[in-house]
Amino acid sequence: MIPSFSHPALQALQQQLEDELDFLCLPEAPWMPGRIFNRHPILDVAIIGGGMAGLTAAAAMKFAGIANTRIYDGAPAGAEGPWATHARMQTLRSPKDLTGPALGIPALTFRAWYTRIHGRAGWEALDRIPRLVWHDYLQWYRQALALPVNIHHRLQNIESIQAPGLAVPIARLTFSVGTEGEQHVAYARHVVLATGMDGLGGANIPAAFTNLERRFWRHSSEVFDFAALASRHIAIVGGGDSALDAASTALEAGAARVDIYVRSNDFSQINYWKGFTHSGHRHGYALLSKEQKAQTLGFLLGNATPPARGTLQRLRDAKNLYIHFGQETDGFLAQDDKLVFHSNGKPQAADFLILATGYKTDLQKRPELHGLLPHIRFFEAGALGGQLPEASQTIPQLDADFSFQSATAEGEPFLSRIHCFTGQALLSVGKVCGDIPGISVGAQKLTQGIVGKLYQAEHEWQYEALTRYDEQEITDAALHALRRQTAPGDSLAEASVLFDEPAQ
């Protein structure tokens, strides 16, 4: 079977895309000067992460004439983002008709891509987007726009350096490349962290599990072989989609029984985040007062998201699945080749445990960011009217262009060029990155901010380029007839040489 992102039917879509970009005069011509440091070209923008957010950011930069950009991702080719790795839902939660990363270009929409392959009837018959189909679409998106991605590049360190001739600091990025860990160094004026749900932390793993043998448990964000769970009794802690998707995957792999332990007393039915997607929310949230942000986020964060429709359909006829609501679990121990624990004080046992406990923001877990930590300004625990769901000094404060705010004077020039394009931007700028509905708006806000700072940093060069601009709009010959209409006595009329017929 031909992968969808290279399907023959997409040749016509590629031509449509090129025509639409041509109609809009996109991409703009590159307008930044090239600079060299230590025999390395200095990138205008380095994007860390090649998933949906990183690709959309790179496309927006390209359209704005920032061509000296590169994406770096630690995964192998085709494994960028969660879709083909640890994501286990069969279909996306988002409605199929969202424009997502299209940046206002019709031919870049999922709908255009899917319809070219499956026809209008196929589009009409589609309910929700299958996860791996969305993955193929993103692969095509990268290919269609020729976005430069360095795979197998895992970021190890970001440090500020001063390059001769530049007024502001640049970033020195150190990467571990491939399985051998060979080091690669790159330099960039701006760095965009498009590193997904765990990019500023990692899996939320309670301390009680750190000393428990790994053969008894995994976190739902990890990639592991569910076939090894066949004929075994599985316990899952958590009540979100990742818990239900893990349960479905385990049962489909032949698990003998799955018990899910949920802290809440029931599943919710209304997804209030779906009502937080119109243009007013996308463009206006960042302008709200602290009290207004507290009111909005307090309501959204206080209401759990219901299970996705596709997830419920997948489990509708599941056998040997047991969901326990209102449960607090603790006391996990390995005993006689079993995992024993308590749920609301009652003894329980299982062969294997899956922690579907989400992610935790904690920059201490990201050694590549340790050099930034002393300078980043964080929200306090009581911020936004006490609605901040994390501990103090956890969620960074960001400016409108997603750059880190600095708590120190010495950190400001560099941090203003490091941009957090991840879900942790929610408190500062709203839900315009990380999710399909607002990703284009977020990428455009990010790009506008970076474009302004790039221009400002190179204003002297830009001014000199402006004064050297020499494309003649009209010739003397074309002006000759108009010059003859100059009123008698005006200075131009007295300069009779200007009225001479142009030389033949």
Average pLDDT over residues 281-289: 92
Choosing from 358, 375, 395, the residue where a domain stops is: 358
Looking at the structure, tell me whether residues 399 and 314 fall in a common domain.
no
Same domain, 379 and 245: no
324, 337, 242, 328: CA torsion to nearest 10:
40
Is 7 domain-assigned? no
Q: What is the pTM of this model?
A: 0.93
- Domain membership flag for residue 67: yes
Is residue 4 very low, low, confident or very high in pLDDT (cuts 50, 70, 90)? low
Q: Identify the CATH number of the domain in which residue 214 sits.
A: 3.50.50.60
CA dihedral 200, 203, 207, 213 (to 10 degrees): -140
For the segment 291-317, what is each residue's pLDDT rounded down to a tens digit?
888 889 888 988 999 999 889 989 988
Domain of residue 138: give its range. Answer: 13-198+367-458
Q: Would 290 be classed as within a structural domain?
A: no
DSSP H or E run through 372: none
Please indicate, yes or no, if residue 188 is contained in any of the structural domains: yes
* pLDDT of 179 higher than 70: yes
Q: Please tell me whether residues 424 and 495 are part of one structural domain.
A: no
Q: What is the DSSP string of 84-112?
A: TTT---SEEEEETT--GGGTT-GGGSHHH
Q: Give the best-scoring range by mean pLDDT among 155-159, 409-413, 490-494.
A: 155-159
Residues 389 and 431 both lie in one domain: yes
pLDDT over 80 at 391, yes or no:
no
Residues 18, 154 within the same domain? yes
Same-domain check for residues 338 and 433 = no
- What is the radius of gyration, based on Cα positions, of the chain? 28
Residues 315 and 391 in one domain: no
* Length in residues, the chain: 504
pLDDT tens digit string along 469-502? 999 888 888 888 787 877 777 665 555 444 454 4
Q: Is residue 292 part of a domain?
A: no
Looking at the structure, tell me whether residues 147 and 214 fall in a common domain: no
Same domain, 99 and 120: yes
Q: What percent of the chain has pLDDT over 70?
A: 94
Please check whether residues 416 and 483 belong to one and the same domain. Answer: no
418-420 and 201-203: which strand pairing?
unpaired
Count of domains forming the chain? 3
446 occurs within a structural domain = yes
User: Which of 320, 341, 358 corresponds to the end of one domain?
Assistant: 358
Residue 486 lies in a domain: yes
Query: 256 and 381: one domain?
Result: no
Q: For residues 66 and 454, give the distance between their C-alpha atoms in angstroms, rounded to a whole number.
A: 9
Same domain membership, residue 435 and residue 398: yes
Contact 395, 424 (CB under 8 A): yes
274: in domain? no
